[in-house]
């Protein structure tokens, strides 16, 4: 359905996330992956979705002046929000272990923003999902870190992986948003750009 709507558009996904690639493919979309290096810094006064909104827009900046009439640029950002602090991706395994231990037996919020940019308009969407972890043992955390890839994920975990299966007691909101892409909102907004 979207393929037909967007047949005259050229989609550019500026994300290296395998999950985001998968979602666009599953929607039947043809897209080009175009990555640009960017320092993911944001003003310290920003909170929650203000951070992901700012970063999703910031990731579109390097493409200014490059977009053609039929291009739609897709940029996105995801954070874990816990105790009034943003948790991004871990730098190494020991940081991943600390993050997961901190999330253990608590409810956090996963916030994702997506920015759709054309030469005429920029649309920003975001979504929040509450996630409750059971108490995680050190051995469960170690097993996950040693057998999966926590380093490319906000908060050091993928809900669709082993730690999600055994550790998540409850979610309120979109499951796919926790994977880094509020696909239901994306579908609604990109449909309007046909």
CB 163 within 8 A of CB 137: no
Nearest alpha-carbon partner for 115 in 126, 124, 107, 102:
124
DSSP state of 133: E
Structure tokens at 169: 């007691």
- Active-site option among 71, 77, 127, 152: 77
* 3-state SS, residue 13: strand
53 is catalytic: no
Q: What size, in residues, is the chain?
A: 194
Other residues' Cβ atoms within 10 Å of the Cβ of residue 41: 9
Give the contacts of 108 (CB within 8 A, at least 6 positions apart).
80, 81, 82, 87, 130, 131, 133, 155
Structure tokens at 150: 């926590």
As a whole number of angstroms, the distance between CA 182 and CA 176 comes to 6
For residue 4, CA distances in Å to 7, 71, 98, 117 come to: 5, 16, 46, 20
As a whole number of angstroms, the distance between CA 127 and CA 94 comes to 29
Q: Which residues are catalytic?
A: 77
């Amino acid at each position: 359905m979207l393929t037909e709507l967007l047949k005259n558009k050229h989609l550019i996904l500026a994300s290296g996330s395998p999950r985001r690639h998968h979602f666009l493919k599953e929607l039947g979309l043809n897209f080009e992956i175009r990555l640009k290096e960017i320092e993911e810094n944001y003003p310290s006064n920003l909170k929650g979705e203000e951070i992901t909104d700012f970063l999703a827009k910031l990731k579109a900046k390097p493409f200014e002046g490059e977009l053609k009439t039929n291009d739609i640029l897709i940029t996105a950002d995801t954070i874990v929000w816990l105790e009034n602090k943003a948790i991004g991706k871990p730098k190494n395994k020991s940081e991943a272990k600390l993050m997961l231990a901190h999330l253990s037996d608590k409810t956090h919020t996963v916030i994702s923003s997506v920015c759709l940019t054309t030469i005429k308009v920029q649309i920003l969407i975001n979504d929040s999902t509450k996630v409750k972890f059971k108490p995680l043992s050190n051995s469960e955390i170690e097993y996950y870190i040693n057998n999966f890839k926590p380093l490319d994920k906000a908060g050091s975990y993928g809900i669709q992986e082993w730690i999600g299966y055994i550790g998540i007691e409850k979610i309120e909101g979109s499951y796919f948003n926790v994977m880094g892409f509020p696909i239901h909102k994306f579908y609604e907004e990109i449909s309007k750009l046909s």
